[in-house]
Amino acid sequence: MKKLIFVNLKMYLNTIEDIQNYIDNLKNEKDKIVIFPSNIYLYEFIKQNFQIGIQNISSYPKGAHTGCTSALSAKDLGVKYALIGHSELREYEKKDTINQKIKQALNNNLKVVLCIGENLEHYNQNKTKEIIKKQIEIALENIKEQIIISYEPVWAIGTGLTPKKEEIKDIIDYIKSLFNYKIKVLYGGSVSDKNINKLNQISNIDGFLIGSAGVNPNTLKKIIEVTQK
């Protein structure tokens, strides 16, 4: 089954030349991927008809919030998805911020990709399920609309480490069991062209959220090839 391929470019590409090369190299793949570029380059991708997500949105609708981007402005530009709760931002957020961001996104018809995952200490203490259940409950309080979840163990992000295949399968089954609709669950955290064959065998994965391995178009193409059979 074909998988969803979401690419979080974080702050990896920082010149218009690099962005244009990236776009040129991936123009034949654009129907197979959703790119989350840094805000300043969103429109470059949208102009070229890529499917686009935003890496972060404000928890407020509008107003005096310096440096923030509203969900309305993202939607108005042509953004389709909003990444919310990524661990690189989560540590700076208050308890109810993620819930408010999700509401803003849904109010503006953006599809929400909610990142959840345990840190290494919780993993070692076997508390993964407890942690992610709590993260989901807090994030989705009073929210009934459908979202996408990305399971991203914090200790697997950018480290080259991944949980075992059986562990990922078990956690994804658990996440799916917490919802009363058929939720799509992605896996993220050190997905690369080296491990994609193995990860792609996990039967209940609906797709992947790829960080650093998605920055090089050739590496990304290898990942796409494996996951689109």
Contacting positions for ligand PGA (CB under 6 A): 8, 152, 157-158, 188-191, 209-213
Query: 72 or 202, CB closer to ligand PGA?
Result: 202
Give the CB-nearest residue to ligand PGA.
211
Smallest separation, CB 76 to ligand PGA (Å): 26
Smallest separation, CB 66 to ligand PGA (Å): 25
Query: 78 or 158, CB closer to ligand PGA?
Result: 158
Contact 98, 106 (CB under 8 A): no
Query: 61 or 93, CB closer to ligand PGA?
Result: 93
Phi, psi angle pair for 53, to nearest 5°: -125, 160
Smallest separation, CB 209 to ligand PGA (Å): 5
Query: 131 or 199, CB closer to ligand PGA?
Result: 199
In the set 65, 86, 118, 137, the catalytic residue is 86
Smallest separation, CB 189 to ligand PGA (Å): 5
145 is annotated as an active-site residue: no
65 is annotated as an active-site residue: no
In the set 152, 166, 167, 225, the catalytic residue is 152
Active-site positions read: 86, 152
